């Protein structure tokens, strides 16, 4: 959906202890990939635990437009009847990826080596985000793109009729770029190689292997070298989507911040390329234990038990950024409640997310009485100690779900209520955020 309805202002008031179980929804990254790879397999992929957030629903709709049959059977239970690698039909409508960078970028990669044309758009946030990071590598396969100035949506991609395989070093740590190149490589003859200097989330590699593609990852002094053999026949899969650590971050943070809290957050995917926040929180002094650690569908999973804790500020090293890239907004809320200063380095990719997340958090935290510092690649938050943030202001969510959820969590433990001007974007990734947090004891109300 290219726009949402009227803004939904929301206020979070200081609350009593959070208790109970937080059943967060399925992983957004794995959900997008399940639909896209399911559409590129021959036959029926069955998915349970799919995230039914708007970002993923927009990807489901897009896969239908490219010719796959996508059916919802019940809550989180979906099937995709795929058309095979190279089998995409040309959509007869504009593909609207709504708010989702992952959706549009992976789909552009997936269609770039088929002889079809597709036009992509999204909401105001997505239309402002850079797409050259995708159009540059897909041009090497032979695809052409025609977008707005600065490589922005709306954009038309003409897929390569006669694609060639590519060797590509990603210029920034980005799983979306890596995945787009690998998905394009699926329909190129021969070997496509992606080299990434810093490891990013590896769901695409794991899932491509699961669907039967020949794919290897080698650690070398230059970084991770991922080699994919093109033109496989992908076999349909049965996928149980693990729960999203990036969504779990919000109830986990809220329980750490609100005195007296103790919650259980079951079945959270703890792939090491995603789990950086939990490591950081433990270094800050958070009381988090990992119970019932196990492997599910090849991914490490555990139940998280989280108790209120006093935090201290730390320096988060730049090399950890890819494993917690979506968690910096909520980390800065935690940092505002820590004793001492938290320094987040190597975070410039935050500037090209749904919003410029450094600027959005900096201005919002200042409005709540917190001192921050920033440069292009660094964000520093001066902690005010447990419960020490004055609050009493309104933060602009900027069409960014993670900014909205972060400030609502801040309000649970600030001295005065915290408001966001628009909580509607939360539906893109965590549609049950408000009822789930309210059931734990949070005081959230529209207005
Ligand atoms: O590949 C993915 O599923 C994602 C990759 C990350 O983006 P970048 O690749 O831009 O870092 C992340 O921020 C996004 O929420 C999901
Ligand atoms: C950056 C995010 O998503 P996307 O890039 O898919 O819009 C996110 O969910 O925090």
The C-alpha atoms of residue 129 and residue 259 are separated, in whole angstroms, by 39
Q: Is 46 helix (H, G, I), strand (E, B) or coil?
A: strand
Q: Is 17 helix (H, G, I), strand (E, B) or coil?
A: coil
Mention every residue, 6+ apart, whose C-beta is less than 8 A from residue 6. none
Average pLDDT over residues 262-291: 97
pLDDT of residue 172 exceeding 90, the answer is: yes
Q: Residue 33 CA: which ligand 1 atom is closest?
A: 3
CATH number, domain 28-240: 3.65.10.10
The C-alpha atoms of residue 202 and residue 181 are separated, in whole angstroms, by 13
pLDDT of residue 410 exceeding 70, the answer is: yes
**Alpha-carbon torsion, ordered 156, 160, 165, 170, to 10 deg:** -10
Average pLDDT over residues 260-287: 97
Binding region for phosphoenolpyruvate: 28, 101, 129, 176, 357, 402
Mention every residue, 6+ apart, whose C-beta is less than 8 A from residue 277. 245, 249, 252, 324, 327, 330, 331
Q: Over pLDDT 90: what percentage of the chain? A: 98
- The domain locations on the chain are 10-26+242-446, 28-240
Query: What is the chain's mean pLDDT, rounded?
Result: 97
Q: Tell me the CA end-to-end span of the chain in Å, nearest whole number.
A: 24
Tokens of 411: 């309000």
- Model pLDDT for residues 58-83, shown as the tens digit of each residue: 999 999 999 999 999 999 999 999 99
Q: Which residues of 338-377 are buried (b: 16+ CB within 10 A; e: fewer)?
A: beebbebbbbbbbebbbbbbbebbbebbebbbbebebeeb
Q: Is 345 helix (H, G, I), strand (E, B) or coil?
A: strand
Binding region for 3-phosphoshikimate: 28-29, 33, 174, 176, 326, 353
Strand ordering across the sheet containing 238-240: 69-74, 77-83, 42-48, 238-240
Note the ipTM here: 0.99
CB atoms within 10 A of CB 204: 30
- Atom 5 (ligand 2) nearest CA: 101
* Residue 2, pLDDT score: 41
What are the backbone angles phi and psi of residue 96, rounded to the nearest 5°?
-105, 110
Please identify every residue annotated as catalytic. Answer: 326
Q: Is the pTM of this model over 0.90?
A: yes
Answer for the pair 411, 419: CB distance below 8 angstroms, yes or no. Answer: yes
Q: Do domains 10-26+242-446 and 28-240 have the same CATH topology?
A: yes
CB atoms within 10 A of CB 19: 15
Bridge partner residues of 243 (DSSP) = 26, 268
- Model pLDDT for residues 322-369, shown as the tens digit of each residue: 999 999 999 999 999 999 999 999 999 999 999 999 999 999 999 999
CATH number, domain 10-26+242-446: 3.65.10.10
* Residue 299, pLDDT score: 84
Pocket lining: 123 vs ligand 2, CB cutoff 6 Å: no
Q: Write the burial class of residue 434 (CB in 10 Å: 0-12 exposed, 13-18 middle, 19+ buried).
A: buried
* Residue 4, pLDDT score: 62
Least confident of 295-309, 348-362, 395-409: 295-309
């Amino acid at each position: 959906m290219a726009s949402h309805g009227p803004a939904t202002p929301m206020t979070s008031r200081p609350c009593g202890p959070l208790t109970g179980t937080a059943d967060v929804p399925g992983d957004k990254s794995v959900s997008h990939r399940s639909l896209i790879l399911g559409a590129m397999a021959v036959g029926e992929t069955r998915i349970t635990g799919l995230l039914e957030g708007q970002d993923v629903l927009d990807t489901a709709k897009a896969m239908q437009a490219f010719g796959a049959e996508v059916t919802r059977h019940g809550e989180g239970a979906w099937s995709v009847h795929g058309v095979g690698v190279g089998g995409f039909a040309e959509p007869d409508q504009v593909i609207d990826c709504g708010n989702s960078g992952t959706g549009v970028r992976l789909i552009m990669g997936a269609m770039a080596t088929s002889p079809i044309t597709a036009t992509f758009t999204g909401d105001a946030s997505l239309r402002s985000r850079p797409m050259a990071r995708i159009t540059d590598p897909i041009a090497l396969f032979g695809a052409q793109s025609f977008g707005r100035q600065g490589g922005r949506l709306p954009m038309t991609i003409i897929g390569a009729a006669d694609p060639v395989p590519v060797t590509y070093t990603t210029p920034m740590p980005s799983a979306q770029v890596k995945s787009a190149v690998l998905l394009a490589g699926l329909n190129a003859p021969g070997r496509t190689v992606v080299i990434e200097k810093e490891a990013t989330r590896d769901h695409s590699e794991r899932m491509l292997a699961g669907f039967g593609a020949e794919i290897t990852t080698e650690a070398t002094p230059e970084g991770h070298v991922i080699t994919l053999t093109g033109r496989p026949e992908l076999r349909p899969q049965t996928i149980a989507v693990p729960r999203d650590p990036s969504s779990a971050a919000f109830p986990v943070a809220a329980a750490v911040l609100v005195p007296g809290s103790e919650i259980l957050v079951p079945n959270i995917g703890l792939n090491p390329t995603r789990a950086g926040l939990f490591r950081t929180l433990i270094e800050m002094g958070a009381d988090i234990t990992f119970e019932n650690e196990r492997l599910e569908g090849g991914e490490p999973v555990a139940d998280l038990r989280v108790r209120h804790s006093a935090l201290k500020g730390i320096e988060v090293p730049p090399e950890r950024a890819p494993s917690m890239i979506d968690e910096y907004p909520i980390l800065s809320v935690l940092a505002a409640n820590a004793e001492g200063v938290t320094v987040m380095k190597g975070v410039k990719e935050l500037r090209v997310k749904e919003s410029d997340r450094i600027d959005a958090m900096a201005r919002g935290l200042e409005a709540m009485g917190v001192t921050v510092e920033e440069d292009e690649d660094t964000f520093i938050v001066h902690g005010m100690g447990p419960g020490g943030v004055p609050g009493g202001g309104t933060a602009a969510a900027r069409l960014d779900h993670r900014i909205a959820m972060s400030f609502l969590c801040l309000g649970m433990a600030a001295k005065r209520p915290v408001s966001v001007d628009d909580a509607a974007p939360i539906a893109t990734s965590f549609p049950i955020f408000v009822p789930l947090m309210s059931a734990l004891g949070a005081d959230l109300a529209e207005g």
